[in-house]
Amino acid sequence: MECRDGSLYYAKVQLGSPPRDFYVQIDTGSDVLWVSCRPCNGCPESSGLHIPLNFFDPGSSSTASPVSCSDQRCSLGIQSSDSGCSTQNNMCSYTFQYGDGSGTSGYYVSDLLNFDTIVGNSLTANSTARIVFGCSTTQTGDLTKSDRAVDGIFGFGQQGLSVISQLASEGIAPKAFSHCLRGDGDGGGILVLGEIVEPSIVYTPLVPSQPHYNLNLQSISVNGQTLPIDPSVFATSNGQGTIVDSGTTLAYVTDEVYNPLVNAVTAIVSQAARVVLSKGNQCYIISLSVNEVFPQLSLNFEGGASLLLGPQDYLLQQSSIDGSAVWCMGFQKIQGQGITILGDLVLKNKIFVYDLAGQRIGWANYDCSMSVNVSTAINTGRNEYVNTGDLSRGISIRVASSRELIICCIIASVLCVLITGIFQHL
């Protein structure tokens, strides 16, 4: 599931021998890492994000090899209905369709992912791990547009062909990852293969046996008052439910959720804001600070975990009118689907931990320009203090040695698994 709209988080990954850089969107709503390959039908040649676009060429990498139909790894994709087999060349192929109608198809290759390894307090550069990833030969929909084009998508889902699952099965990384996405104008953030340690993190269980990161959302409150929404609206069944998806920019809810939510917010701000409609969105013109006018929202999940949203976590600022600020609802209606998607709008400025081994997700409000504690050893439970204060526009990841969790460090110009990430406002 992915709804690509006005902004995205992307990062840089190194693949092949010799290693080449590829900018990829970070997406927890899909599973597979794929990059553009030549020849490619519909792949952009340039990007409005002012990043160089590259095409992966398996023939130019001395360590690349195609994944055949008989390869056991191909069967992992077939089980999730994304993969198939080409009878002409015996290559394992795939086709992905995203929530915004865009899509890509191609074939799987096996090659080296390049990264730096941390063992204790020492750094070993130029480490590698062999992974399977997609070689895209066709792109459609928004993926063909140059204004926010990247080289591919890095899926952080939990299916067998996701990179996090592949590294965990090889004992290179734990089956967990965390992110803290900055929401200010500079963007960036921190992405860790492992768990960020923060005392205020609250956890809720994942809904089992789902293709996405589904959670049991039970109710929504506005200034502490629970909205009159039937809890069955949030239930996970037959493709319905609540999904956490970093590949989606905003947040999407059904009519049964959107209408009472907007009505409650509007009732509270009616004395201090003028309500207008802009391109079908509910907007508010205010002369005071947004935090003075608008209420706090609370998304309440199974196990007592609540995701608290301040005004800037559910509103988007638009251009001003006669010196007054215009703020619009960032929660959008999703038509014809009984689904709630929590995208970057509500994920930013928070630590999110995806504990896949424990089948739970946790979060805590956090200044993502600050330092974080990252667990670096599974057995001892030691924590390593990681300084992210120098990070301005980058996401950086380092991989720890076997039996140690991956820790994140911010070192300019050092090439790791992922280095440069940015929340690009378009």
Q: How many CA atoms lie within 13 A of 12 on its CB side?
A: 18
Residue type, 270: S
Residues 6+ apart with CB under 8 A from 421: 9, 10, 11, 12, 26, 187, 188, 189, 191, 393, 394, 395
Distance of CA 383 to the CA centre of its chain: 25
In which residue are the tokens 């390049």 written?
114
- Upstream peptide bond of 18 is cis (omega within 30 degrees of 0): yes
* Residue 352 β-bridge partners: 179, 363
Q: Compute the Cα dihedral for 378, 202, 389, 190 and give only its sign.
A: positive
Determine the residue type at 337.
Q
CB 227 within 8 A of CB 220: yes
Give alpha helix (H) positions in 116-181. 163-169
* Active-site residue set: 27, 245
In whole angstroms, give the CA distance from residue 301 to residue 294: 22
CA nearest to 420, candidates 33, 12, 19, 9: 12
Please report, for residues 96, 177, 298, the alpha-carbon distance to residue 198 in angstroms, rounded to integers and kept in the order given. Answer: 36, 14, 20
The one-letter amino acid at 184: D
- For residue 1 the two structure tokens come to 């599931």
* Range list of H helices, 109-243: 163-169
